[in-house]
Amino acid sequence: MVAFSTAEMTDMVLIYGRAFGNVPEAQRLYQEKFLPRRLRQHTTFSAVVQRLRENGKFLPSTTARGRERTQHVTDVEPEILEIVEKKPKHKHSQHF
């Protein structure tokens, strides 16, 4: 989704409510009221409203993004120390 200002997203939600959740009607009302602004896709109205309902804010949630960490450094620390203790002359790049 294109970055919109908080004011634009607020207007989208208000217009969506005025259209009683009818997205094509919300698009029409939005274009009529905010003519100089770029016309929103129908998915934009739904996405902004859904995000507000789920997160309570306009910004997307940053939780559950990216890859989950499988091990913490503290979990592998004993293994690393054991390798270094057994073969202290080896470069660590060979072990990792």
Asked whether residue 55 carries a pLDDT value surpassing 50, the answer given is yes
Q: Coil, strand or helix: which one is 26?
A: helix
User: pLDDT band at residue 88, thresholds of 50, 70 and 90?
Assistant: low
Closest CA to 48 of 18, 88, 90, 8: 8
pLDDT score, position 90:
57
Is 15 in contact with 30 (CB distance < 8 Å)?
yes
**What is the Cα–Cα distance from 84 to 42, expressed in whole angstroms?**
59
pTM: 0.56
Domain residue limits, the chain: 6-55
Over residues 3-30, the mean pLDDT reads 90
